[in-house]
Structure 1
Amino acid sequence: MEGIGHRTLRVNGINIHVAEKGDGPIVLFVHGFPELWYSWRHQILSLAARGYRAVAPDLRGYGDSDCPPSASDYSIFHLVGDLVALVHALGQDQVFVVGHDWGAVVAWWLCVLRPDMVKALVNLSVPYSPRNPRRRTVESLRAIFGDDYYMCRFQEHGAIEAEFEQIGTTSVVKRFLTYRTPAAIFISKEKGIDGSFEAAATLPSWLSAADVEYFANKFEKSGFTGGLNYYRCLDLNWELTAPWTGVQIKVPVKFIVGDLDLTYHTPGVQDYIHKGGFRKRVPFLQDVVVMEGVGHFINQERPQEVSDHIYDFIKKFY
């Protein structure tokens, strides 16, 4: 795709596939679920054209990167460790970081554990969520949303994979990337994913059939278990990160979210973002952008705007 290069690097004991383009300071793009480096295709081209070296890995468990077999191989320490080793493999000590969805979570924790490696951070969709010392993560989610909440359903090893297989990889990709209704984040055991996530009748303008095919082909190869294991480590991460309870993010941050993003409409999230709680935990937060008329997959839905926001922020630190 338009001069984007690809290679595989051995980092942190596994093989990680990397897409990259351009010369200059490195901008490391970290994708979410169920996505790939390809989610950043527009930003790679845009930032490379503006004098940066854009680097986007397939995270462990995804695409052309290795998929370790055990769920415990996907702890936040493994995920952050992959990024640390990748930065070093690129010959750098410090980079700009851009994250979305699970990639945002990993980027937040990279800033917690290795703030020295992050020049500045632009995170999309998922704000920094401090550890609740009183209750495990999955227990908290069940208490708020019930057993059918997608993160709770994803805990069932093999069950969700079987449902995904039943409706087909292409259909799974289309449903996740195009969902808009709050009901879509609840997967009823009775209805299954087929009756819970409605398939888009037509693809939106920002997502082509070729895009869906690229994602689907890679997930046909890797399966979804690697990505699902990120959710299956939620309670393990809660245990592992106990020493960092209450820690702040101490790097310059810009946060961007769509006003139609279901994450933004999670109970309490808007008050947290806009009424001081977020800024207390991210004291170097410099900007919060709420983009109108855009949903969760913001970097694909509004690629030029997101690329401009990233560039306008990071250029201040170079």
Structure 2
Amino acid sequence: MTKSACIQSISVWNQAHIHLFSFLFGFWVLSKRLVRWLWRPQDSAELRARDTPPACLVDSSLGQHKHVKLKGVKLHYVEAGSKDNPVVLLLHGFPDFWLSWRYQIPTLSRHFRVIALDLKGFGDSDKPAWRSSYKIDTVLEELTQFVYSLGVSSCTVIGHDLGALLGWYLVHQNSSIVNKFVSVSCPHPNVYWNASKSVKWLNYVQLPYLPEIDALKEDVKIIDQYFKHLGPKDVDAYKYTFSRQDDWTGPLNYYRNLPLSKISEPLKQVQVPVVLVVGSKDPFVHLETVVKSTEFCETFRLQIVDDCGHFPHQENQQAFNSLLVKHLVDSRRSSAVDGGSVTSPSKRLISGLFGAVSNTVKYGNTVIGNVQKKTNDVVNSIPSFNLNYNNSSSQS
């Protein structure tokens, strides 16, 4: 499939740079692993057998487990809520699957038809092994066809991490199928890769096989590292889901493809209302990337959930759900009362967390002042993201 007009490949030089460093970093990792194995062979603990799915994965209390077969792939999803309600599509991150949204499904299903999808390569969806199956245009076409398979022409998209990254591409390429877009812990793709703290890891995963094997070491220790905020039962569900080498190939293939593409510039601003939700302690999202993301959006709002890291929807689900309801449900009611008009985001706060940022905000030495000006000076501690949800709510 050829790339769409809004997506282009990065330069040949940048691609060569990635693959060169991939080789060098892979050689370094292999050498390090060999030395460690020779010195402390006991650290290479065997992978614990996990043959029976945990109860939470077969429990239908969160919704109905369904499958849809598109042209070349079968996708699994969990559906909850009335079919008469507008559709909200939930796209999880990495390494994750539909269960990521277990705290949001009951709340959202009171107002929406909720679809929590297992992205291709994850969970119970098909897991094609070929790297080319995860090219961005292929994935976006499949997501578009998936939305149409639900019997609707458009929906609200809420994505976390990798799912949000795909959401950004989707609103640029096919904004007609997205009513609103909520990006959780993920700035715009054109600033995401350059600002990533995981450059070495991104280079490393370009290698075949080795990253998959590495992910399984020490009984899938990577899951313990990513999900320190979860209890033992939830961690066990994740380890079951990612307990085979094949469970990692698909997820890693996204990162073997996505860094090689970007949104074409100059580009038209996203017309879909965009909300970026970040945790105040997220180590992967920085103020500069947030401000740069505003340049790509006509309407942009930032929501900060206090005392949370990269998984605000899991770490503080009550605050996160509250802001979702405020944005998706209350704003819809207000729009209906106002005859369809929408207040400019630079003049209104959502749930009192962080004011809206509309259109282009220049960054640099004056970034703090510019953002505070856009938010009517309600934010005085942006550098540390120390915003208190409860206290801020009283200011709205």
Structural mapping, 1:13-52, within 5 Å: 13-23=72-82, 24-48=85-109, 50-52=110-112
Shift of 1:216: 1.4
- Answer whether contact 1:131 1:246 (CA < 8 A) is retained: no
- Answer whether contact 1:4 1:21 (CA < 8 A) is retained: yes
- Following the alignment from structure 1 to structure 2, what is the Cα–Cα distance between the partners of residues 58 and 237? 23
**1:154-179 CA deviation, whole Å, 9 max, x = no partner?**
2221111121222223x22111223x
The residue aligned with 1:192 is none
1:157 maps onto 2:157 in alignment: no
- Answer whether contact 1:75 1:236 (CA < 8 A) is retained: no
The residue aligned with 2:226 is 176
Segments of 5+ residues of structure 1 without an aligned counterpart are 179-203
The residue aligned with 2:347 is none
| Residue identity in the other structure for 1:271 | E
Match of 2:314, SS state, is: helix
Cα pair distance change 1:245/1:33, threshold 3 Å? farther
The residue aligned with 1:213 is 236
Shift of 1:273: 2.0
1:105 maps onto 2:182 in alignment: no
- Following the alignment from structure 2 to structure 1, what is the Cα–Cα distance between the partners of residues 266 and 205? 25
- Answer whether contact 2:269 2:297 (CA < 8 A) is retained: yes
| Residue identity in the other structure for 2:231 | S
| Residue identity in the other structure for 2:217 | Q
Shift of 1:27: 0.6
Match of 2:103, SS state, is: helix
What is the root-mean-square deviation of aligned Cα atoms in Å?
Answer: 2.2
- Answer whether contact 1:12 1:81 (CA < 8 A) is retained: no
Shift of 1:245: 4.9
Shift of 1:12: 4.2
**1:126-166 CA deviation, whole Å, 9 max, x = no partner?**
1113279xxxx6xx67xx8696x222222221111121222
1:4 maps onto 2:63 in alignment: yes
The residue aligned with 1:198 is none
- Answer whether contact 1:22 1:51 (CA < 8 A) is retained: yes
1:278 maps onto 2:278 in alignment: no
Cα pair distance change 1:308/1:245, threshold 3 Å? same
1:92 maps onto 2:152 in alignment: yes
| Residue identity in the other structure for 1:270 | L
| Residue identity in the other structure for 1:173 | I
1:261 maps onto 2:282 in alignment: yes
| Residue identity in the other structure for 1:234 | L
Shift of 1:223: 1.7
- Following the alignment from structure 2 to structure 1, what is the Cα–Cα distance between the partners of residues 143 and 315? 26
| Residue identity in the other structure for 2:316 | R
Shift of 1:234: 2.8
**1:64-98 CA deviation, whole Å, 9 max, x = no partner?**
00111211211111222222111111000010110
Cα pair distance change 1:150/1:89, threshold 3 Å? same
Structural mapping, 1:65-76, within 5 Å: 65-76=125-136
1:167 maps onto 2:241 in alignment: no
Shift of 1:35: 0.1
Segments of 5+ residues of structure 2 without an aligned counterpart are 1-58, 334-396
1:297 maps onto 2:311 in alignment: yes
Cα pair distance change 1:235/1:254, threshold 3 Å? closer
Shift of 1:117: 0.7
| Residue identity in the other structure for 1:256 | V
The residue aligned with 2:4 is none
Match of 2:120, SS state, is: coil
The residue aligned with 2:16 is none
The residue aligned with 1:229 is 253
Aligned length: 270
Question: TM-score, normalising length from structure 2?
Answer: 0.64
- Following the alignment from structure 1 to structure 2, what is the Cα–Cα distance between the partners of residues 112 and 217? 35
Cα pair distance change 1:146/1:85, threshold 3 Å? closer
- Following the alignment from structure 1 to structure 2, what is the Cα–Cα distance between the partners of residues 111 and 28? 13
| Residue identity in the other structure for 1:220 | S
Shift of 1:278: 2.4
Structure of greater relative contact order (alpha carbons < 8 Å, 6+ residues apart): 1
The residue aligned with 1:118 is 178
- Following the alignment from structure 1 to structure 2, what is the Cα–Cα distance between the partners of residues 235 and 163? 21
Match of 2:189, SS state, is: coil
